[in-house]
Structures are given as C-alpha cells and as structure tokens.
Amino acid sequence: MPSVLITGATSGFGRAAAQRFAKAGWSLILTGRRQERLDALEKELSQQVNVLTLPLDVRDSDAVTTAISGLPEAFLPLTCLINNAGLALAPEPAQKVALEDWHTMIDTNITGLVNVTHAALPLLLKNSEGASILNLGSVAGQWPYPGGHVYGASKAFVQQFSYNLRCDLLGTGVRVTDLAPGMAETEFTLVRTKGDQAASDALYKSTTPLQAEDIAEQLYYLATLPPHININRLEIMPVRQAWSAFAVDRDPA
C-alpha cells in the first residue's frame, strides 16, 4: 500500500487529508503537536488503514530527523509527503506586530518545512517514480495584502522552494507541487487572532469559502496523477473571492 506523511494532521487541511487518503487505503504517518488530537485521529482511521502518529514539533530539527529516519518498515517506502504544518499570526500592520510572532511564523512555515523535507527526501527517492512532495502554500505568497507581512513572505518561500526542489529532483521521478489555497474555513483565523471567534466568524460570514475537504481532494488528486505528470503550482480560490484594486494613499480633500 502507498504511504503518506502528513504534517500538521491534527486540524484543518491536514486532518481532512488524512481522512481522504485513508478512504483510498493509504497508510498514514501523521504528525502534530497535540497528542490528544493525534490519538483521536488514530482511533478514527486505524479501523480503515495502518496509522502511525508522531507527536512532533516540526521546528525541532533533531526530533524531526530522528522520527522520520526511524519510520517502521511497514510504512515504507514513502510515497507522498504533505508539508501542511504552518500558521499565520498577527493580522495587524507590521509596525504593530510583536517580533516573537514573526519568528514563530518563520520557524514553523519555513524552518519546519525545510526540516521535514530534508529528512523525508531519502525515503521518497527510494520510491521515486510517482512519489510526491506537496507543499501547502497560499495565495498570500503571490498576492500581498495589509497584515500579510511575514506570513505572505513565508508562503512566497514555499513557492520558490518548491520550484527549486523541482530543478534539483529532475530525473529522479519525485514530483513537487506548491498548492496555494485562498480563503478557506478552518481554524486558521482562530489561530491567527489567538482565539477570537468573532473575528473568525466575521471573515466567513455571508460568503462561501473553501472547506478543508476541498483542499484534501486536490491533495489526493495531485498525489495520484500518472507518474509522468507534475503540476508545479495549483492556486485555488473560492468563486466568491478575487483580487482587489491597488490601494492609494491620498491627501485630505
């Protein structure tokens, strides 16, 4: 059976992806920082497929390397890596943001992604034809907006890292995709606003955002394409979201 390693599997896109790949019979290697959520997910999905849960902070390079290099043979060879762990913080203007929040986003969205990718590459290369690295980017990596500051910059890194990995992996058979969602209704805004449920509700009110299951379906599609096909970047928005005009600062009338 093919196997997939999903980081940040305890909520949102990661949890939905675990459920989607389990439905198709894939073996699951699931990481997250919240043990109780990992336990619940294992209980739910282990009735369908083999499940290995790894309580893990992707920012800890030593822990990541140890965990991935020690995967049981039953979950090898590795077929797909989904780099989903990440977060946004501090939607305020840059000049009002705590430096700690910037560091947290960089450490998770960039350093964490690099840590996991570096550890998983040798395993993916052993099962190279049709193997996939699917990196969760964002439309924020391509389209700036007020309050995007380090979050948007970190997702721009995801895009360029994905492209450059493609260059290095040419000839190996390993595919790389930057999957960039737009507005999606998950715990994203709750995390970003540090638990402000009203702010989260207001963002999604009276519109139709993407759902975690929508992104999970695209992840499964990318992972199961014929092995000669690579989609470099897939940007997805809800129909009810589009770009805005340039902002212009004007003198008072």
* pLDDT tens readout for residues 60-119: 999 999 999 999 999 999 999 999 999 999 999 999 999 999 999 999 999 999 999 999
pLDDT on residue 127:
80
Q: Which of 151, 163, 204, 221 is catalytic?
A: 151
Amino acid making up residue 150 = V
Q: For residue range 153-201, list pLDDT tens digits in order.
A: 999 999 999 999 999 999 999 999 999 999 999 888 778 888 888 888 8
pLDDT per position as a tens digit, 30-64: 999 999 999 999 999 999 999 999 999 999 999 99
Give the pLDDT confidence score for residue 61 in this predicted structure: 97
Between CA 106 and CA 102 the distance in angstroms is 6
Paired with 134 in beta bridges are 82, 177
Residue 203 predicted with pLDDT over 90: no
Is 151 labeled as catalytic in the residue annotation? Answer: yes
DSSP line for 89-150: ---S-GGGS-HHHHHHHIIIIIIIHHHHHHHHHHHHHHT-TT-EEEEE--GGGTS--TT-HH
* 119 in Cβ contact with 65 (< 8 Å): yes
pTM: 0.95
CA 71, distance to chain mean position in Å, is 21
Domains and CATH numbers, the chain: 3-236 (3.40.50.720)
| pLDDT given for residue 154 in this prediction | 98
